[in-house]
Homo-oligomer: A and B are copies of this chain.
């Protein structure tokens, strides 16, 4: 096992009716700015629940956060925070609203001129932040229980990530009933997103960390069971609850403690989303099968374990079991309605070169061995045409 530090101070309040606990969670004298997206929370009743819960201390509002939250939009919120002196941000919605709230909270105390510098150089993220609380309505990103935020910059078509121990939400409210009315595309995306957050921390190389392996497999097995159930029965409370808790556990730091991590699929996926606007989960579903096929020799030991424990594949030689496990993974994503090929999204062939050269320019060290080359990226994406 590798050395690690694990610290996750987020208070999770989980279950039916838990939005009503907001007054106990937000400081009584807070001047609250509520950050949300495109209005789905007004249609599904979540907005009303939040306003009702906070009737003694009504929040001001900043709506219009995009599905991939834009830097330019966040900057407008930062201006509002500074101009009106808000001291508590409440993110309400999916990962985008939560990420935006976390970014705005950090940018509001950022001393430099250009808060985008926090994304390109994490050393510039301030050792402080406005406090953030969350009401999650879309299980997927894990943002409700980590200190990360992904923000996209329209001007440069960049989608980047920052992570800071100062950006953990103070609390996150997870009421599975708020997810009943999600479009099935968003539900399916959430399943895929949580699944691939898990594989990024699991499908690497063995580090003699059997508990973390089994905790990762626990999430994968549960997503495989509960994902189809949720799509078939959108108002099945327990299935919704299980999906929601899986998505949180997939990216709260626990399963990644003491083990190698990959994240190259995410790096490539972010470029695809930034360039072509496909959903985050769609981009991951496209890249992962290529990544696993291309890296199957280096990931062999874990892929064999994955084949056996997650897909119950015990017959055939090792190569066949690995190949079948990757096929089953892709079939699972497709069964949820999530396309797994660049062609499913009409992405042009030039994407292969473009993504590879953009990543090369970022000088990111990709993969669990931090050594994927520009050519590797091209080969991986070529497998996904």
Residue positions of A touching B, CB distance < 8 A: 1-18, 208-212, 214-215, 217-219, 221-222, 225-226, 237-238, 241-242, 245-246, 249, 254, 257-258
18 A-B residue pairs with CB within 8 Å: A1-B242, A1-B245, A3-B17, A3-B18, A7-B12, A8-B8, A8-B9, A12-B257, A14-B257, A209-B241, A210-B222, A210-B226, A211-B219, A211-B222, A211-B242, A212-B245, A217-B218, A241-B258
Do B245 and A211 have beta carbons less than 8 Å apart?
yes
Do A241 and B18 have beta carbons less than 8 Å apart?
no
Closest B-chain residue to A2, C-beta based? B15
A254→B219 CA distance, assembly (Å): 14
> Copy number in this complex?
2
Contacts of A258 in B (CB 8 A): 14-15, 241, 245
Closest B-chain residue to A165, C-beta based? B11
Shortest distance between the CB of A6 and any CB in chain B (Å): 4
A221→B211 CA distance, assembly (Å): 8
Contacts of A2 in B (CB 8 A): 15
With contact pairs A222-B214, A258-B14 given, residues A242 and B209 touching in the complex (Cβ less than 8 Å): yes
B4, B210, B215: which contacts A14 (Cβ < 8 A)? B4
With contact pairs A7-B12, A11-B7, A15-B3 given, residues A218 and B222 touching in the complex (Cβ less than 8 Å): no
Contacts of A13 in B (CB 8 A): 5
Q: A6-B14, A254-B254 given. 10 additional CB < 8 A pairs?
A: A2-B15, A3-B17, A6-B12, A7-B10, A8-B9, A14-B257, A208-B241, A209-B238, A209-B242, A210-B221
